Amino acid sequence: MPTTGSTAGSVVVLVSGHGSNLQALIDAATHPAYGVRIAAVGADRGDIQGLSRARRAGVPTFVCRVADFATRAQWDAALTSQVAAYRPDLVVLAGFMRLAGDAFLAQFGGRTVNTHPALSPSFPGIQGPREALDYGVKVTGCTLFVVDAGVDTGPIVAQRAVSVHDDDTVEILHERIKTQERQMLVDYVGRMVRNGFSVTERKVTIS
């Protein structure tokens, strides 16, 4: 679903930290056949590696901090207009540790995806690998989903399973998940942008 005048579909990526998923998208987007242009990278905090990765790649960046606004709704409205300025076909939350609010969902609901380091509906929230390890599951993984108002509850686009090893730490397990997560993200964001997709109730179909 590319915008007029461009053969590549345009994506805004939102990050909160390390940005290895973002880097995978940046690397993929260097290949014209991937069909995705990263129009901008936004963050809810400055001084993070994700923003440095974007700048190194020559991608415009912006920062929208919750603390700079009197209310969460004002922050959400500001984030929405900063993202909207880049007219993205798809918004990708890649390690973005904030919930999208009403204004954001009104404008970008149905065309925002998020990646989560667990097999939804298990272990929603920001501690997916830790909770999977504490629970003692033998298989966990990652989930790409279309964002809705809940915490990691949206319609599922793709999932990858990852084995849990007896001697795993949270960090080791999360890194094993992220190896799969980066591949899943690059694969499906590319397909969604190149081909378009639809969501019917909870079923996501890529055209």
Q: From residue 104, give the alpha-carbon distance in Å to each of 39, 83, 88, 197.
A: 18, 9, 13, 20
3-state secondary structure of 157: strand
**Distance between CA atoms of 174 and 128, rounded to whole angstroms?**
9
Contact 35, 194 (CB under 8 A): yes
In 130-185 the beta strands, taken as DSSP E runs, fall at 139-146, 156-163
**Min CB(5)–ligand GAR separation in Å:** 30
The one segment of 4-12, 27-35, 61-69, 111-119 that binds ligand GAR by CB under 6 A: 111-119
Classify residue 118 by its DSSP letter: S
> Pattern 173-192, binding to ligand GAR, x per CB under 6 A?
-----x--x-----------
Segment interacting with ligand GAR, rule: CB under 6 A, options 18-26, 52-60, 186-194, 196-204? 18-26
- Pick from 99, 93, 44, 49: which is nearest to 66 by CA? 44
x/- map, 113-142, ligand GAR, by CB under 6 A: --xxx--------x-x--------------
- Nearest residue to ligand GAR by CB is 95
Q: Under rule CB under 6 A, how many of the chain's residues touch ligand GAR?
A: 17
CA separation for the pair 189, 64 (Å, rounded): 24
Determine, following the binding rule CB under 6 A, whether residue 161 of this chain makes contact with ligand GAR.
no
18 catalytically annotated: no
The catalytic residue positions are 116
Binding footprint of ligand GAR on the chain (CB under 6 A)? 17-22, 94-95, 97, 115-117, 126, 128, 152, 178, 181
